[in-house]
Amino acid sequence: AQKITQTQPGMFVQEKEAVTLDCTYDTSDPSYGLFWYKQPSSGEMIFLIYQGSYDQQNATEGRYSLNFQKARKSANLVISASQLGDSAMYFCAMQTGTYKYIFGTGTRLKVLA
Amino acid sequence: NAGVMQNPRHLVRRRGQEARLRCSPMKGHSHVYWYRQLPEEGLKFMVYLQKENIIDESGMPKERFSAEFPKEGPSILRIQQVVRGDSAAYFCASSPSPSGSTDTQYFGPGTRLTVL
């Protein structure tokens, strides 16, 4: 079965520190994509970062990086130098061969001043 | 460059009424996807449409829900005879091509439906 698991319902981090949000996935399809989205309190879904299953290097986008460990089937999001504006829900999603995204249940991140 | 547009942003309906949600994809995108987010949950796929075609509606409830993407105009998600359980955020996403494992779907701001 294809599944995304986010085990951290909530996380706190001090401003300017780094934080890792966990995501594990399950699929038997060798070709897949992994995505992270941010959902602030205003509700929109903001695309952050993408990792393809065949990509050799971990994806990075500014302060966001994706720690991709294929053997462990994990795709953790690392946010460096946290800012107050990073407080939001974060969703991990997987796409396997078709167009459908499968989303995890999300992690609510709170950045403390 | 306008992103994916959805309207209304908030919609309140009484039980039994109809809800009509609109989505205009990004310029150059001809593929539209609808997702539903129940409170405190992740998004769940509902339907995938191309212009004038429903490609996959496997995630859509069999009754009361319908979707269309006409040749001209926005995609419409229609919910007839709404019930309280339909209260959710409905997101539309678009992509320029059939979204395989390398294409990103871009999401609209969502429509929050509240059924009284």
Those residues with Cβ within 8 angstroms of residue B91's Cβ, 6 or more apart along the chain or in another chain: A45, B6, B34, B35, B36, B37, B43, B107, B108, B110
What pLDDT was estimated at residue A2?
86
CB contact under 8 A, A99 and B89: no
Give the pLDDT score at B42: 87
**Measured between CA atoms, how close is B52 to chain A, in angstroms?**
18
- Residue B102 is predicted with a pLDDT of 57
pLDDT tens-digit readout, B49-64:
998 899 999 999 999 9
Token pair 């339907």: residue: B47
Q: How far apart are CA A62 and CA A90, in angstroms?
A: 17
Bond into B8 cis (ω within 30): yes
Apex A90 CA angle, A53 and A32, nearest 5: 15
Count of Cβ atoms closer than 10 Å to residue B58 Cβ: 10
d(CA A3, CA A92): 11
Between A50 and B102, name the one with better pLDDT: A50
pLDDT band at B41 (very low <50, low <70, confident <90, very high): confident
Distance from CA of A62 to the nearest CA of B (A): 18
Q: Which residues of B touch A30 (CB under 8 A)?
A: none
On whether any CB of chain A is under 8 Å from the CB of B39, the answer is no
Q: Are strands B111-115 and B10-13 parallel, antiparallel or unpaired?
A: parallel
B110–A44 CB contact, under 8 Å: yes
Instruction: State how far the Cα of A101 lies from the Cα of B83, in Å rounded to an integer.
Output: 26
pLDDT score at B28: 85
pLDDT along chain A (113 residues), means of 10: 92 97 94 93 90 92 96 96 97 85 94 96
Q: How far apart are CA B87 and CA A69, in angstroms?
A: 37
**Residue B88's pLDDT is what?**
96
Q: Is the pLDDT of residue B101 over 70?
A: no
Counted across chains A and B, CB pairs separated by less than 8 A come out at 72
- Torsion on CA atoms A70, A75, B29, B74, rounded to nearest 10: 130
Q: Which of residues 36-75 of A touch B (CB under 8 A)?
A: 37, 42-47, 50, 52-53
* Pairwise CA distance, residues B19 & B86, whole Å: 10
Q: Please indicate if any CB of chain A lies within 8 Å of the CB of B5.
A: no
Mean pLDDT of B38-42: 85
Chain B nearest-CA residue for A91: B42
Does residue B99 sit at the A interface (CB-CB below 8 Å)? Answer: yes
* Alpha-carbon gap, residue A19 to A86, rounded angstroms: 11
What pLDDT does B103 receive?
Answer: 67
Query: In chain B, what residues touch A28 (CB-CB under 8 Å)?
Result: none
Supply the pLDDT for residue A44: 86
| pLDDT category of residue B99 using cuts at 50, 70 and 90 | low
The answer to whether B89 and A43 have CB atoms below 8 angstroms apart is: yes
**Using the beta-carbon criterion (under 8 Å), do B43 and A95 form an inter-chain contact?**
no
> Does residue B100 have a pLDDT over 60?
no
A66-75, B23-32, B48-57, B91-100: the lowest-pLDDT one: B91-100
Q: Determine, for residues A47 and B106 on separate chains, whether the beta-carbon distance falls below 8 Å.
A: yes
Two tokens at B23? 């989505």
> d(Cα B88, Cα B39) in Å, to the nearest integer?
7
